Structure formats: C-alpha cells, structure tokens
Amino acid sequence: MKVVILAGGLGTRISEESHLKPKPMIEIGGKPILWHIMKYYAQFGFCEFVICLGYKQYVVKEFFADYYLHACDVTIDLAKNSMEVHNNTAEPWKVTLVDTGLLTMTGGRVRRIRPYVGDEPFMLTYGDGVADVDLDALAKFHASHGRIATITTVNIGQLKGVLDIDDDGEVRAFREKEDADASRINGGFMVFSPGIFDYLEDDETVLERAPMQRLIAQGQLMSFTHDGFWQCMDTQREMQKLEGMWQSGQAPWKIWE
C-alpha cells in the first residue's frame, strides 16, 4: 500500500521557519519532519511514498536527489568527477515527488496523484505531524469495514481550565481540564479506497470539507480511534516541543534503532 503525504502547503502559521523552506522540511533532531513521518511508516513495511508538493518544492526534490549527501560520508574526486559513498545508510524507500500546484487545495492535490496510486487503497497523511499510531491495525480496520474512507481520530485535550456557568452567568464551578472535555479531531493517518477520487472535483476541492461531508452523508467515513501520542507542528512552540522530546530521548514516534 502506497503512502501519500501532503507536503505542498504554505505553512503560514509557522512562517518564522517556512519562509525559507516548506514546513515538512523543518528539522527535528537534524532531520526534516517529513523524514520522521516516512521513517515511521517504513517501520510497518510501508516504503513506497507519493509526496504532494507545491510551495518551494525544489527543496524537497533536492533533499531526496542528494540523499547520500545528507545521510552518508562521501569522498568526492573532483579531477575524476566521481563520488564514493561510505557507510551507506540510504533507506529502502521508493519516493515519487509530484508537483501538485502552488495553491492547490488538499483534495485537489490528492486528485492529481491518482495516476501514481492506481486502483488500490492508499494511506494519506499530512507532512507536519507525528504519532505512534498502530498502522497495521489501521490498515486492517480499513479493510474490515469496506467503506471508502478511514480517518484516525485523536483527542487533543482541553488547553485551559473549565468553567460551569449557569444561564444567568453565575460561575457555579471551576476545575482543571480533563481529556474528556475535548472533541476528537482528524489527526491524519488516513486510508482511502479508490472510490475517493469520485469525490474530488478540481484543484479547489478541500478534502476536509465537501468530500468529507458527502462521505459522512453516505455512510462512507469511518473513525479509527487513537488514544496514544499525536502532535502536529503548526507553530514554533510545537516545533520546540518536538525538538525537546527528540533531544531527551523521549520521542514516542521513534520506534527505530
């Protein structure tokens, strides 16, 4: 099963970093968060990737084109115009890099990569979030229910204390936040059957809007509940949080040696 990664957005909410590179190329522990996501999928045997590019796409393309330079020691013989790669640590990945347009919406990007995934189910996620989702269980769940779409739902938790207020405005109680206070959201790590392409009209289609609403109305969208670790990287604070986890050796998504 191929893994499609949305990596073409402008990343405006973390513009301190994304004005130089696409958000998925912002580094955690010296590696792009895109690499972390791919590394995680690969631990479950998903090693074929289709990456939807747009904003500053050349940065992503150059990273993979020069992967040996990023990951290995090399000896470059300028006179012979040759390069010897030492301690080869290249990943067993097949990576298809697709220009899906600069301003194309999420559904439009997925629509454009149809030729690369064919008529088989595929996984889809965002290029800016990590988790410890059981991908084997996710794939089995999708295959078991026979619907078009599965999304992994996560609980992001309530950020503030909770007030109980009556109709007259009187505060009746105040307590600290609890996980049960928050609604579940789409955390990415989705699986789609080929029928999803019938819901994607053009480049302006936002996957999370009309297509999802139609899927819900037709009983074609299922939720895979994930109660473990999940973290997106929308802000510099979240980037620093992930970096801190990595540096402390407490990164839940790092399941490789």
Tokens of 225: 């509940």
For 22-41, the pLDDT digits (tens) are 999 999 999 999 999 999 99
Query: What is the pLDDT, as a whole number, of residue 69?
Result: 80
C-beta neighbour count of 112 within 10 angstroms:
18
Taking residue 212's Cβ as centre, other Cβ atoms within 10 Å add up to 18
* Distance of alpha carbon 65 from alpha carbon 70, whole angstroms: 10
Which CATH number fits the domain 2-156+184-248, given the four candidates 2.40.50.140, 3.90.550.10, 3.40.50.720, 3.40.50.300?
3.90.550.10
Nearest CA among 11, 248, 225 for reference residue 129: 11
Amino acid in position 210: A
pLDDT tens digit string along 161-200?
566 666 766 656 666 656 555 678 899 999 999 999 999 9
CA 61 to chain centre: 17
Residues above pLDDT 90, as percent of the chain: 74
Q: Give the number of other Cβ atoms within 10 Å of residue 37's Cβ.
A: 25
